[in-house]
Amino acid sequence: MIEVRRIAAVVLLFLGVGVGLHLLMTPLRDAGQPATIKAMTLACGLALAVLGIIGGYLVARVPKERIGAVSAYLEGMVRKGAIGLVLSESEADALGRLGHAVNRYMTFVKDEIEQTHLTAKERQIQIKVLEAERRHIESVIHAISDAVLVTGAFGDLILANEAAERVFHFRFETSVRKPIEEVITDKGFLAILQEMRETGLFVPHRTVEWVQGGGENARTWRVILNTVVEGKKRERISGAVAVLHDVTKEKEIARMKSDFVSNVSHELKTPLASIKAYVEMLIDGEVQDPAQSREFFQTIASETDRMSRLIDNILNLSRLESGLVPVNKTDLAVTEILRDVSEVMTPQAVQKNIRLETDLAPVFFRIHGDRDMLYQAVLNVVSNAVKYTPDGGKVRVSTYLSDGSVVVEVADNGYGIPPEDAHRIFEKFFRSGHSGKAAPGTGLGLALVKHVIEVVHGGRIDVESEIGRGSTFRLALPAVR
Amino acid sequence: MSRKVLVADDEAPIANVVAMKLRAAGLEVTVAFDGGEAYERALADRPDFMITDLQMPGMSGLELCARLAAELAGGVPTILLTAKGFELDPSTLAGLPIRRVMTKPFSPRELLATVQELLALPAGA
């Protein structure tokens, strides 16, 4: 209010003086006016100028002592950094009313400032919470094993987790905000992102499969893509999120399952084909000779046995692999198992005129294992050796200690395995092409041996072989000290 | 003059029973127990017809067919016997003289009828 009055005083002062002076000057310029008008104008100008000076002085005049008190009080408030009531309102004059108005205003300002402080504190807390949430989400994104990539409206990299860094070989810190084409080099994946950018408005979510690399190191990824669409009419793509899940293993398992089923059906159909053919021949009366018909019945019987053996083996292996067969481990002597196997195998060896030698150490090496499973495993290996060794050959079973393991070695001088097949013979249904004309097996024996030795007993099986010279299988089992 | 048929299967009971059925019908039959042996026999005997298993150690039935087609003009008309019928990709048979694919288990009676039917056809059909 004081300001207003001062301004009013100054304005009045200038107006009075200005207009007065103007009127004073006019008669001097217009020489042609009558003398009376000139004199009147002169007088009016003088009067207005004097009135302006007096009015301005009167309006601007405020009691000095009261303004001094207000100034001192305000200075004091500033020093204390306080906000609040300031003026005495006791006087009923204009200054008293001004004091009241200022007090109301100051109270209002004080409340506003307090409210602003409160809001600012709340905002700070909100920011901290949001910051914590953002860090939490980021750490979650970084912790998930799936690769996550987020791109912005211009195809620039906005977010990527460590899994994504590993998949695409880049460092997020140095790649952030760069165009995705500069970060990722794989053309196939870039094409997927490109298509997403082009069609994302119409198909915002999709899942595609992407194969990275080739050959044995090829990895298959299931890529889940989401477009972030913005705008009132959802007319603008503001980014894309790609989540990559490694399905290489799943694919491999699916393929193995399919191969397994296909192999099983093939293996079952083969003896079934013999049975059907032989039965039909007997029905059709193609076999007249009693000796020959007996031979036919024997073939049917042996093929039936083969099918049944195959089914048993499939079930055994499947139960074993799925952990359904209880494992009963005790401390036992390997030598005793080898002796039992050798005893059981001797008749077959004798029949083929094969020398079955056992070289068992005088010390009974002890291991911790399931006797029945180990017996079956060793029996399978020795039986294979006899099967794939021609008449008159030799099979030698021995045992020794090596690197804390008890090794069971089964060596033959039979047909041998080609080097390219050596690592595959433990696969289910794998048959080496050079097995000679040996009796057909189920193709599951060595798969079972490998499972029993390596998975059930934590041991190791390997084979050394040479075509025409024979094979040596070594089954290593952890020794009990 | 009796027609010569080559039977190739690593499953001896199958090869033997097929041979017996065909011989009873008056055909001249040679038996081989793997692809390599069948190849040698075919080159030596020049059979009019062949019945071969698909999966055999060493050389598969398809490889056998292809190699004979390269060696003998037009190859040997063949019936492919397989326990994997529905998994066979037809494109793998393209260009080979395979007249029929029969799946195991099979009927020797039907097999013989098919052979007779195919042998009665004029050469090159």
CB A336 within 8 A of CB A374: no
Nearest to A286 among B20, B33, B57 (CB): B20
Nearest to A273 among B58, B83, B87 (CB): B83
CB B56 within 8 A of CB B85: no
pLDDT digits (tens, 9 = 90+) for A318-355: 888 888 888 999 999 999 999 999 999 999 999 999 99
Closest chain A residue to the Cα of B88, Cα to Cα:
A262
Distance CA A270, CA A282 (A): 19
Nearest to B104 among A270, A299, A437 (CB): A270
pLDDT digits (tens, 9 = 90+) for B52-72: 999 887 788 999 999 999 988
Q: Establish, for the pair of chains A and B, how many residue pairs have beta carbons separated by less than 8 Å.
A: 64
Beta strand pairing status for A405-412 and A394-402? antiparallel
Domains belonging to chain B, first-starting first, are 4-120 (3.40.50.2300)
Q: Which of A255, A272, A274 to mutate to test the interface with B (most CBs of B within 10 A)?
A: A274
Model pLDDT, residue B125: 41
- Put simply, whether B108 touches A (Cβ < 8 Å) is yes
Q: Is the pLDDT assigned to residue B31 strictly greater than 90?
A: yes
Q: Name the burial class of residue A51, with classes exposed (0-12), middle (13-18) and buried (19+) by CB atoms within 10 angstroms of its CB.
A: middle
Model pLDDT, residue B6: 96
Residue A321 structure tokens: 């692999």
CB spacing of A269 vs B21 below 8 angstroms: no
CA torsion sign for A38, A43, A46, A49 is negative
CB A376 within 8 A of CB A340: no
Distance from CA of B99 to the nearest CA of A (A): 21
Nearest to A269 among B83, B108, B109 (CB): B83
Q: What is the ipTM of this complex?
A: 0.91
Q: Name chain A contacts of B87, Cβ cutoff 8 Å.
A: 262
Residue A102 structure tokens: 């200022």
Cα–Cα nearest to A434, from A469, A458, A403, A402: A469
Q: Name chain B contacts of A437, Cβ cutoff 8 Å.
A: 12, 33-34
Position B22, amino acid: L
* Mean model confidence pLDDT for chain A: 84
Which residues are CB-neighbours of A340 under 8 A, at least 6 positions away?
A: A375
- Put simply, whether A285 touches B (Cβ < 8 Å) is no
- Put simply, whether A433 touches B (Cβ < 8 Å) is yes
Phi, psi of A284 (to 5 degrees): -75, 0
- Put simply, whether A220 touches B (Cβ < 8 Å) is no
Cis amide leading into B105 (omega within 30): yes
Q: DSSP letters along A163-225, please?
A: HHHHHHT--HHHHTTSBHHHH---HHHHHHHHHHHHHTTT--EEEEEEEES-GGG-EEEEEEE
CB A95 within 8 A of CB A66: yes
Give the position of tokens 């048959």: A431
Model pLDDT, residue A433: 60
- Put simply, whether A388 touches B (Cβ < 8 Å) is no
CB spacing of B14 vs A273 below 8 angstroms: yes
Distance CA A102, CA B48 (A): 123
Closest chain A residue to the Cα of B106, Cα to Cα:
A273
Q: Which of B55, B104, B107, B109 to mutate to test the interface with A (most CBs of A within 10 A)?
A: B104
Model pLDDT, residue B77: 93
Within 10 angstroms of residue A302's Cβ, the number of other Cβ atoms is 14
Phi, psi of A471 (to 5 degrees): -130, 150
CB A279 within 8 A of CB A304: no
CB spacing of A276 vs B18 below 8 angstroms: no
Model pLDDT, residue A100: 79
- Put simply, whether B100 touches A (Cβ < 8 Å) is no
- Put simply, whether B26 touches A (Cβ < 8 Å) is no
Beta strand pairing status for A219-230 and A205-212? antiparallel
- CATH classification code of A251-320: 1.10.287.130
CB A87 within 8 A of CB A71: no
Model pLDDT, residue B124: 43
CB spacing of A280 vs B20 below 8 angstroms: no
Give the position of tokens 């190859």: B75
CB spacing of B107 vs A440 below 8 angstroms: no
CB A442 within 8 A of CB A310: yes
Q: Name chain A contacts of B106, Cβ cutoff 8 Å.
A: 273, 276-277
Q: Name chain B contacts of A434, Cβ cutoff 8 Å.
A: 57-58
Nearest to B108 among A266, A280, A437 (CB): A280
Q: DSSP letters along A64-118, please?
A: HHHHHHHHHHHHHHHHHT--S--------SHHHHHHHHHHHHHHHHHHHHHHHHH
**CATH fold group of domain A144-246:** Beta-Lactamase (3.30.450)
CB spacing of B105 vs A273 below 8 angstroms: yes
CB A407 within 8 A of CB A422: no
CB spacing of B104 vs A269 below 8 angstroms: yes
CB B82 within 8 A of CB B53: yes
Which residues are CB-neighbours of A253 under 8 A, at least 6 positions away?
A: none
Nearest to B57 among A274, A284, A431 (CB): A431
CB spacing of A269 vs B11 below 8 angstroms: no
* DSSP bridge pairs for A207: A224
Distance CA B73, CA A2 (A): 124
User: Tens of pLDDT along chain A (481 residues)?
Assistant: 556 666 666 676 677 666 666 665 665 555 555 666 666 666 666 666 666 667 666 655 666 677 777 778 778 877 877 766 655 666 667 777 777 787 788 888 888 888 999 999 999 999 999 999 988 988 888 888 899 999 998 889 999 999 999 999 999 999 999 999 999 999 999 999 988 888 888 888 999 999 998 888 899 999 999 998 888 888 888 889 999 999 999 998 898 888 888 888 888 999 999 999 999 999 999 998 999 999 999 999 999 998 998 898 888 888 888 888 889 999 999 999 999 999 999 999 999 999 999 988 777 788 999 999 999 999 999 999 998 888 999 999 999 999 889 999 999 998 888 888 888 888 887 776 655 444 566 788 899 999 999 999 999 999 999 888 999 999 999 998 7
CB spacing of B57 vs A303 below 8 angstroms: no
Distance from CA of B29 to the nearest CA of A (A): 17
Q: For domain A327-478, say whether CATH 3.30.230.70 is its number.
A: no
Residue A206 structure tokens: 């999709």
Distance CA A421, CA A414 (A): 16
- Put simply, whether A467 touches B (Cβ < 8 Å) is no
- Put simply, whether B53 touches A (Cβ < 8 Å) is no
Q: Is the pLDDT assigned to residue B80 strictly greater than 50?
A: yes
Position A57, amino acid: Y
